[in-house]
Amino acid sequence: MRQFDLAPLYRNTVGFDRLFSMLDQMVGVDAAPSYPPYNIERTGENAYRISIAVAGFTDKDLTIEVKENTLSVRGDRKPNEERKAAVLHQGIAARSFDRRFQLADGVQVTGAALENGLLHIDLVRETPEAKKPKLIPISSNGAQAVQTKQAA
């Protein structure tokens, strides 16, 4: 059940629709799946790494897709037919999963690697030239008048 109403924010702002939609999605965090476990770490000023525990999965069982600022990691493990032994205890989960991460604007996936049962996905935040800060020169009235006379 929602504790707060975002409707007044929708009425009084322009261009923040996506932000409020993300807040709406975050309300249901308690119902979010917890399998497989993962870590998100910062590896540099603009670099990040998501590490997902995927014990028992191979690279052929995993799919990574980026679409409209959403990173989707899917695992679909096929049953091992060549294994004839009966499993007495199965503590390692082998179920399929679909884990989604919402990426901020400008965050790009640079690579992925599977090692020691962990899927590492490297990300970097790239700021476009148009959004980088730039210095604007300040001219005085006298300098502006000189430039105007030269142009005429």
At residue 91, the pLDDT reads 79
CATH number of the domain to which 84 belongs: 2.60.40.790
Assigned domain for 115 exists: yes
Whole-number Å distance between alpha carbons of 14 and 25: 19
3-state secondary structure of 68: coil
Domain containing residue 27:
1-32
* Statement: residue 23 has pLDDT above 80: no
Instruction: Provide the residue type at 63 as one letter.
Output: T
Assigned domain for 141 exists: no
| 104: nearest Cα among 124, 122, 131, 120 | 124
Lowest mean pLDDT among 5-14, 45-54, 119-128: 5-14
Q: Which long-range contacts (CB under 8 A, 24 or more apart) does 28-33 make?
A: 33/97, 33/99
7 and 52, same domain (yes or no): no
pLDDT band at 1 (very low <50, low <70, confident <90, very high): very low
Helices assigned H by DSSP within the chain:
7-12, 17-26, 141-151
Tokens of 6: 């975002």
pTM: 0.64
pLDDT digits (tens, 9 = 90+) for 100-149: 988 888 889 999 999 998 999 999 988 777 777 888 888 887 655 455 55
Domain count of the fold of the chain = 2
User: What are the φ/ψ torsions at residue 122 (nearest 5 degrees)?
Assistant: -95, 135
* Statement: residue 34 has pLDDT above 80: no
pLDDT digits (tens, 9 = 90+) for 57-98: 888 999 999 998 889 999 997 766 655 677 788 777 778 899
At residue 93, the pLDDT reads 73
104 and 38, same domain (yes or no): yes
